[in-house]
Structure 1
């Protein structure tokens, strides 16, 4: 049996998965997400003798990593942890091998320190304390200092589509992204940007470099994609007419994975690019029929730049998970939601939101073009059971 919680993470992601008795935390929103919702659940789990089998930071973005920084800064060192954590997956700069180099010069360290002093940038929403002041170091530094098993070792290798399946007590996890090429592109983007600031050093691992890299990655945003224009007088648009691919290199570095218990399968897409997901799924499942999961966590909060018609022709599920409060970039986009439910299906689709948004309210009055049955649910902090009809 597999069940999960989709926490109210503002415009971010935070999921706790119970997969046959194995517990997996995937992202943790902002610090306030951890403080208000996740901490109490982990305390209950620890008191019952449970542990986190795996913690996944899908990628370095403030709305995914902030709560994990809060968690790992508070959970304590080895032997005195609030809750035991068996393994952590997190791709930081030191996870990507770089040529050996001489130590950075004083000027280079000053550039990195200037980036570090900016700290982690939080949400622009009015909610209090998106990322707390205590988070003065990167997640990479916290993992090393507190002796966590990081990327199956000390963090010196990456988690990618080439990572072998991980077998937990009640589940198997298959990583389907990112490619090592995408991770390399993020590293090169980082180096290009810091060189514009006068940095002439290498990407050879150091605590200061980890801090500056993660703080920069958590704050960087891609240039806005071209805005779609209405193609009809009533403003009704189809996803195929307005879809433009995501161009954010940090998003392309997202860890995307499949969690299987033997009877259920869930696809978690982080903020991954649709094109990368399709390429991997075609390699895994060359048949033309779509791969049906028990639940799919939609990429990038339902953005029309991360869910394409092509992707939806390759996957389907009776449950879709949409994590966003609608305050950033208008996520989720209604055109994505409509395309999901407009397709024919032999089963009823249930769309779960962690907030009621303009798009979710509009979907409630939408009629599927194919006549397929669907329902809309708001599950702000409730367990979603995949063995039942909807929750």
Structure 2
């Protein structure tokens, strides 16, 4: 038996395939779909992105995506999958979807529906407005895709060979989405050119304090512990650090009783506002995965890398080599370069 974690090049977003191969066959879990270009890009979408190539491989193997988890509404997480689902021959590959849609949230709180939050599939025609396109939920109905109840912290769910312990969102964060969802603008001050990479690790360690993310969308992000065979992993989407810490405490983990992990997908592409030293003190992981090409928001923050380096001895894994190469100053290379790695796929074997 084996589990592989494939971290696709999803531009500044997340798109991760977790595959379990066991005596009862193969189970494919897709976590997010990157932005639209992760599926296809270029003039008239002639170029296949990483997600499109992956789905072609799965189709050729006569397999399916047994479960898709769309962590939250940001385009760098759902854009590629929305484009894939409306493309002929691809939507049929998906069997089940977990996604906290506006309708699920309003139903949970017995609140009136908010039609302005309906998600529509992108249409390449310049003559078609977004609101004239097909609704995401309507397409899932047409495709016969199974959908879950609302996903919330505290739940334990078994799906195929995997056991999920949900860490985020909590009820407070979901309640904040009982409004017309805000469209978050990118500030010119958060471009990739504005980074903390010129600071030394020593400077970052000496002058460190944690401020939490305040994005409503990120706070609603689905995050979970995944267990199968003898492996435990965390996939944190863009979730709030504070919510993850509280959920881990509820499960009995702390600095004295650390959660032992094969892998943790670090929240929000390595933002310093989503990974605290308190969180890192509660876990011990062999792989810390950061997914981004570094093109937006100055992410990952080197401050996050410094916190991980100080917290343990696991490998920090990037899916773009140029990002890994930016993290260390020349005088830091000798001591810390061995802790950084560039990976596309991580394999975990298990003897039955």
Same fold (TM over 0.5): yes
Cα deviation for residue 83 of structure 1 reads 4.5
Structure with bigger strand share is 2
CA RMSD of aligned residues (A): 3.5
**Which of 129, 140, 145 is residue 142 of structure 2 equivalent to?**
145
**SS of residue paired to 2:150:** coil
Mapped pair 1:220 → 2:188: no
- Are the counterparts in 2 of residues 7 and 354 from structure 1 also a CA contact under 8 Å? yes
The answer on 1:44 being equivalent to 2:57 is yes
Aligned pairs (5 A) from 1:51-130: 51-74=64-87, 83-96=92-105, 97=107, 99=110, 112=116
Residue by residue over 1:117-167, the C-alpha shift from the partner in whole angstroms, topping out at 9 and shown as x without a partner, is 9x78xxxxxxxxxx762673443332233331111xxxxx31112433223
Q: Could you tell me the TM-score, scaled by structure 1's length?
A: 0.72
Indicate conservation of the 8 Å contact 2:36/2:75, yes or no: no
Partner of 2:43: none
- Residue 38 of structure 1 deviates from its aligned partner by 1.6
- How far apart are residue 234 of structure 1 and its match? 9.9
Partners of 2:79 and 2:184 in 1: CA distance:
14
Which residue of structure 2 lines up, in the alignment, with residue 27 of structure 1?
Answer: 32
Query: What residue number does 1:376 align with?
Result: 340
In structure 2, relative to structure 1, the CA distance for the partners of 1:221 and 1:164 (3 Å cut) is farther
1:197 match: none
**Whole-angstrom CA distance in 1 between matches of 2:200 and 2:93:** 57
State the match for 1:177 in structure 2.
168
- Which residue among 307, 313, 316 is the counterpart of 2:281? 313
> What SS does the aligned partner of 2:229 have?
coil
> Cα distance, 1:179 vs. partner?
1.2
Q: Tell me what 1:123 maps to.
A: none
- Say whether the 8 Å CA contact 2:102–2:118 is kept in structure 1: no
Secondary structure of the structure 2 residue equivalent to 1:301: helix
Q: Which consecutive segments of 4 or more residues in structure 1 shift more than 6 A?
A: 222-225, 227-230, 232-235
Residue aligning to 1:7: 8
In 2: Cα distance, 1:366 partner to 1:163 partner: 46
1:272 to 236, 239, 245: 239
- Kept after mapping to 2: 8 A contact 1:333/1:359: no
Residues 263 and 365 of structure 1: CA distance in aligned 2, closer, same or farther (over 3 Å): farther
Contact 1:319–1:350, Cα closer than 8 Å, also in 2: yes
In 2, Cα distance between equivalents of 1:297 and 1:100: 33
Q: Does structure 1 residue 244 correspond to structure 2 residue 245?
A: no
CA distance in 2, matches of 1:335, 1:233: 9
CA deviations 1:56-98 (Å, max 9, x no partner) are 100000100101101211255xxxx665323100111111115
CA distance in 1, matches of 2:329, 2:349: 24
CA contact 2:293–2:323 (8 Å) conserved in 1 = no
Q: Work out whether residues 318 and 324 of structure 2, in 8 Å CA contact, stay in contact via their aligned partners in 1.
A: no
| Structure 1 stretches lacking a partner, 5+ long | 121-130, 152-156, 191-215
TM-score norm. by structure 2 comes to 0.80
1:205-354 map, 5 Å: 216=181, 219-221=183-185, 236-238=203-205, 241-287=208-254, 288-345=256-313, 349-354=314-319
From the superposition, tell whether residues 240 and 148 of structure 1 become closer, same or farther in structure 2 (CA, over 3 Å): farther
